[in-house]
Amino acid sequence: MLPRHLMVFGKMLSSVLVLTSVLSASALPAEKGNRRVVHVLEDDTGAVIVQTAPGKVVTHRGGAITLPCRFHHEPENTDPARIRIKWTKVTDALQFDDVFVALGKQQRVFGSYRGRVFLEQEGAGDASVIIQNVTLEDYGRYECEVTDDMEDDTGFVNLDLEGVVFPYYPREGRYKLNYHQAEDACKRQDAILASHSQLHKAWLDGLDWCNAGWLEDGSVQYPISHPRDQCGRKDTPAGVRNYGYRHKESERYDAFCFTSKPNGKVYFLKRFKKTNYAEAMKACIRDGSAVAKVGQLYAAWKFQLLDRCEAGWLDDGSIRYPVVNPRARCGGPHPGVRHLGFPDKKFRLYGVYCFRKNQEEKAAPIKKAKSSADGWKSSNSIPMNVTGGI
């Protein structure tokens, strides 16, 4: 028997070939709003046929989303109690994390997915699962496997999150983080290391940053929208520059972090006096909040459209402020989050941005994902109204 990673690679390749033939067979593009499925076949005589959504399904942190997967039998005479449905998450290293498994009426959910993943159960042949309270770590590629005795078939669904990518370096300075330190730095700022696709989308939206940073797959890249001599030569084309995969322990760079809709609200705390860092921490606590993290401020800029031309302390000791509508004496002609560096924490020169977490609420009812030209979106997703460089 072939190793699992080779079997999966073969299935993924066959999925691409079948999808290509399905799309090229039609002279007209699929109408927006129509559900598109791709038949992923083990072979022409397989007893189980799995259908999944090509492209991706899209939601945001804290939302709920359906990962669509349906199957049928040829012939349709199989006992449902003998059908096994298994969902796993596939990483870039072709490793597999168990998410959910069901055999007849017996079900099991694994790890951080416990209490959040359920079968949709909309009729015979439905292997779809619902993920509630989506987290940043849920982002990625999922495999739906349906097994009937000796026959099995698989399909793949990509779960994408609406969010924002931001470059990050610590107080110690530029190029101070190995891969694991970069990963921890993003987590401390309410984010995760960005993927290449997330960084590429941010570049398409205008992100321009001249310092290389780690991505979640262990590569080091940076986005250039405006080529210039001091940043890889002016005569080179715009794009995402790639240093390739680097040594995770010994090499040091910055980080590109990704965050999504916050589970609370960021606000500038109005005070009569400027504060130092310790006073800023206490002021937010007295107001029933905490000093905002860098990822929370970026998410507020993106989702709350927070626009404030006043510099304030953040949790990591940096000074930043968000600008949605650029204006005179407010940090330049482009929208983004301005960064004034890491001053001495004793300076009383700034205000503070606080973050107040939402009170726990019951999970919203699940609504079916709707398809679009760009992928499937949950009906409670937030439209992206702001794009632009940092």
> Would you tell me how many other CB atoms lie within 10 Å of the CB of residue 44?
5
My answer on whether 312 and 344 are in the same domain is: yes
Strand partners, 145: 86, 154
390 residues of the chain, pLDDT tens digit each: 445 544 444 444 444 333 333 233 333 333 333 333 333 333 444 457 777 767 789 999 999 999 999 988 766 666 777 899 999 999 866 789 999 999 988 999 999 999 999 999 888 889 999 999 999 999 999 999 999 877 788 999 999 999 999 999 999 999 999 999 999 999 999 999 999 999 999 999 999 999 999 999 999 999 999 999 888 888 889 999 999 999 999 999 999 999 999 999 999 999 889 999 999 999 999 999 999 999 999 999 999 999 999 999 999 999 999 999 999 999 999 999 999 999 999 999 999 999 999 986 444 445 444 433 333 333 333 333 333 333
Provide the edge-to-edge strand list for the sheet that holds 65-67: 65-67, 129-131, 117-119
What single letter denotes the amino acid at residue 316?
Answer: D
> Would you tell me how many other CB atoms lie within 10 Å of the CB of residue 199?
26
My answer on whether 144 and 181 are in the same domain is: no
Q: What pLDDT shows up at residue 47? A: 59
Strand partners, 73: 48
In a domain, 27, yes or no: no
Instruction: Name which of 140, 109, 143 is nearest 127 in CA terms.
Output: 143
My answer on whether 237 and 275 are in the same domain is: no
Residue 132 phi, psi dihedral angles, 5° rounding: -100, 160
We report the CATH number of the domain holding residue 140 as 2.60.40.10
My answer on whether 113 and 141 are in the same domain is: yes
My answer on whether 322 and 253 are in the same domain is: no
Q: What pLDDT shows up at residue 265? A: 97
Residue range of the domain that includes 56: 47-161
My answer on whether 81 and 91 are in the same domain is: yes
In a domain, 363, yes or no: no
- Cis previous bond, 383, omega within 30: no
My answer on whether 192 and 278 are in the same domain is: no
Q: What pLDDT shows up at residue 72? A: 83
In a domain, 249, yes or no: yes
In a domain, 127, yes or no: yes
Instruction: Name which of 194, 206, 225 is nearest 390 in CA terms.
Output: 206
In a domain, 207, yes or no: yes
CA dihedral 55, 60, 62, 63 (to 10 degrees): -60
In a domain, 52, yes or no: yes
My answer on whether 243 and 349 are in the same domain is: no
Secondary structure element (H or E) that encloses residue 144, with its range: strand 140-148
In a domain, 116, yes or no: yes
What single letter denotes the amino acid at residue 369?
Answer: A
Domain boundary among 259, 288, 309: 259
Strand partners, 255: 168, 214
Instruction: Name which of 303, 304, 264, 293 is nearest 352 in CA terms.
Output: 293
Instruction: Name which of 281, 265, 272, 262 is nearest 352 in CA terms.
Output: 281
My answer on whether 181 and 255 are in the same domain is: yes
Domains: count for the chain? 3
Quickly list H helices, 89-226. 179-188, 196-204
In a domain, 368, yes or no: no
Q: What pLDDT shows up at residue 363? A: 47
Chain centroid to CA 313: how far? 26
Instruction: Name which of 387, 6, 17, 50 is nearest 203 in CA terms.
Output: 387
Instruction: Name which of 357, 360, 355, 359 is nearest 290 in CA terms.
Output: 355
My answer on whether 93 and 175 are in the same domain is: no
We report the CATH number of the domain holding residue 319 as 3.10.100.10
CA max distance for the chain: 76
- What is the rounded CA–CA span in Å between residue 15 and residue 18? 5
Q: What pLDDT shows up at residue 82? A: 83
Domain boundary among 259, 282, 301: 259
Coil, strand or helix at 296 = helix
My answer on whether 215 and 153 are in the same domain is: no
Domain boundary among 161, 180, 214: 161
My answer on whether 202 and 298 are in the same domain is: no
